[in-house]
Structures are given as structure tokens and as C-alpha cells.
Amino acid sequence: MEDRIVSAVKEFARSIKPGSKVLADMSSLVDATSQIPLSNFDYWERLIRSEFSLAMRESAPSKWKPWLKPIEILTWLDLTSWDGYRREKTLRTLSGAAPNTFFFSLAVRRLNDWVPEVRAAARDTLLKLAKASDPEYVVEALCIALSNWGSWGRIEDADKTVLLKIISDVSIAQSLIQKIMFSASGPMTSLFSQLGRTPILDGRVDEIASLAVQPSLRAKAYRSLFEKRVTWLEGRKWVWTDIRYCEKKLIPIVSERKLSVETPILDLLHESANDRSSIVRRVSAEILIRELDTLGSTGKELAEKFASDNSDAVSERGKFALKKLVESDRANAS
């Protein structure tokens, strides 16, 4: 894969002809970058930056031809440039659709660029690029960005607002929901949490809880329904644990948004109690313990069901619920 990327970058660099009206040929580069695993994006971006920079220097006009003044040509690969001015100018020059998910991801990642002017350019142009690009490319890139932006140290609220505007588009939102529901792998639970920042999940959380492929996502959706809120990781901050010894630790910053839930809690408990995954049943058992005093005989039936569960984590909670019921009966009898 690495050899193929390097070869495609060099071929693309050779096809750039200063002063020519013929566009550089990106076909091999697009094919090669379409195969790149986005989970290791940092590595591929560094590799392409280094190889493209080297290839462009090698293909530059000879110094002994001063009349061949190079004409600045900006391409999608210049989003990886070492030069912040060039990255900014490239963002403001780009028009039309992104060639694939990789290149749209390059543009999205400029929201975390170390140069403020580049971040500003990304804010100004990303929405336009998203509207012009294939929704599939946009959705794939957003899945990676939304799952990781909590670790982006330079992204600001204004930058996040741009991405939230993109995902609020009806077609993009629908594609994102379908992806998180039916993807068998990937950080779909984290993505669900981040999408909870916007109203696009409202009215669909029940469906996600019952139909999502990943058990952890169904568990998160049920918990959101039980708690009538969606929570997400906003980021992390350092707090002092002992100033005398200069000791501190990173703690998560969690935000939330309220959900309007119409499904009765008993229906949710029965549905989640019968889920095929113990991860979901464990959440159901936790909620049962919390709501035990308000459920009457149904609470006892569910506690007995959980107590006999094949999963130790679920059965322990069921037995604890039964113990609480016995203690409550004794207290009432006395």
C-alpha cells in the first residue's frame, strides 16, 4: 500500500506542468488514496506531505533557466503542505467536489490546523465543499472527524459549528443515521454521542436502540432513552490533584442534551431485558434497580428474569434487585 501511494504521488507531481492549461492527472492518486485506512490518517498525511514535497522539488525547472518563472499551481495535495500560507490559499482556491473521502478528510482536518488562518479558511470553505461533494465521501470523513475531535487540541467552538451545520443537512443526516445503525465495526457509539449534539437523532433513538447492529450502540441508545438525555465527551482538561507535588490528571468534560421520550419506561425495560446482548441487558438491569420502587409486581418479575441470566454481570444485578425487594417487604411489614 505504501509503495502504491508513493508511486501515485510521484506520478501526480510529474503531471503538473507550470504554465500549462492542462489539468494534472489525479486518477492514479485518487485510486490509491481511496484504499487508505482512515483510522491511521496521521501517518498517511505525513508520508504524502514528505513525498509530494520531494517530488515537486525534483520536477522544478532547472536553475539555469531563469526565464522559466514557475507559476503557482495549487492542488488538493497542497492541503498537506509544510507552508501554512499555501494550505490557507489552497482551501480558499478549491472549488467543486472532493475526489474521494481521503481528500475531504484532508480539508476537515484543517479545522485542527496549527495555523489560525488555515483554520479560518477551513471554516469558510468546508460547507461549500461538502455540498458539492458526494454525500458518501462526506459521511465517511465526518464519522472519523466526529469520533476523534475530542482529542483535537486546537479545534474551537466555531469550527465544531461548521461540522454540525454539515451534518444537519437532511441527506447527510440520514446517511449518518443509517451508517451508525448498520455498521458492524467502527466507533459508532462515540459517533452516536456526538450526533446527539444536534436534533437529527430526535425521534430515531428508539429505532437505533432496537435495530442497531452493534450491542454497545444499542446499550447507549437505551440508556439515553431511560435517562432522557444524550451525553457526549466534550474534551478533557487538566486538574491539580496535589499542587505541592505538581501532580495533576486529565478528567473528561461531559456535555448533554435533553431528549423527548414518548415510550413508557416499562416498555423500554421489557424491550431491553429481552435484547440478545448482555451489554444491553446489563443497562436494563441497572435501570430496574433505580426504578424498583415504582414498578410494583412487574419489577419483581424483571428482577427474577435478570437473576437467572446467563451473564454474571446481569444476574448479579438481578439478585441485588431481589435483595432490595426483600428488604423493602421486611421494612413495610415492621
pLDDT at 3: 84
Q: What is the mean pLDDT of the chain?
A: 87
Residue 64: per-residue pLDDT: 41
Q: Which string of DSSP letters, residue by residue, matches 212-224? A: -SSHHHHHHHHHH
pLDDT band, very low/low/confident/very high, at 40 (cuts 50, 70, 90): confident
The least confident of 40-44, 83-87, 247-251 is 247-251
pLDDT at 317 over 90: yes
What integer pLDDT is reported at residue 67 of this predicted model? Answer: 46
191 exposure class (CB count in 10 Å sphere: 0-12, 13-18, 19+): buried
Please report the DSSP string for 99-154 in residue order: SSHHHHHHHHHGGG-SSHHHHHHHHHHHHHHHHHS-HHHHHHHHHHHHHHGGG-SS
> CA 285, 286, 290, 294: dihedral to nearest 10 degrees?
-20
- 272 close to 212: Cβ distance less than 8 angstroms: no
Q: Match 520531494 to its residue by C-alpha cell.
A: 54
Q: What is the mean pLDDT of the segment spanning 306-312?
A: 95
| pLDDT tier at 60, thresholds 50, 70, 90 | low
C-alpha cell of 294?
Answer: 415504582
- Tell me: pLDDT of 23 over 70: no
In the numeric block, the cell 447527510 is attached to 172
Mean pLDDT check: name the lowest of 91-105, 246-260, 271-285. Answer: 246-260
Residue 268 has pLDDT above 80, yes or no: yes
| 90-131 confidence digits (pLDDT tens) | 999 988 899 999 999 999 999 999 999 999 999 999 999 999
Read off the pLDDT of each residue in 170-179 and give the average, rounded to a whole number.
89
Residue 199 near residue 165, CB atoms below 8 Å: no
Assigned C-alpha cell, 261? 421520550
d(CA 83, CA 54): 14
In a 13 Å sphere around the CA of 6, the CA atoms on its Cβ side amount to: 8
pLDDT for residue 184: 92
| Strand duo 229-242 + 247-258: pairing | antiparallel
The enclosing H or E element of 258 equals strand 247-258
Categorize the per-residue pLDDT at 289 as very low, low, confident or very high, splitting at 50, 70 and 90. Answer: very high
| CA–CA gap between residue 320 and residue 125 (Å, rounded) | 55
pLDDT for 144: 85
Mean pLDDT of 247-273: 90
Among 75, 74, 121, 82, smallest CA distance to 98 is for: 75
How far apart are alpha carbons 34 and 39 in whole angstroms? Answer: 13
Q: What is the pLDDT of residue 82?
A: 92
Mean pLDDT of 211-223: 96
Pair 30, 100: CB distance under 8 Å: yes
pLDDT value at residue 63: 47
Averaged pLDDT, 178-194: 90
Q: What percent of the chain has pLDDT over 70?
A: 93
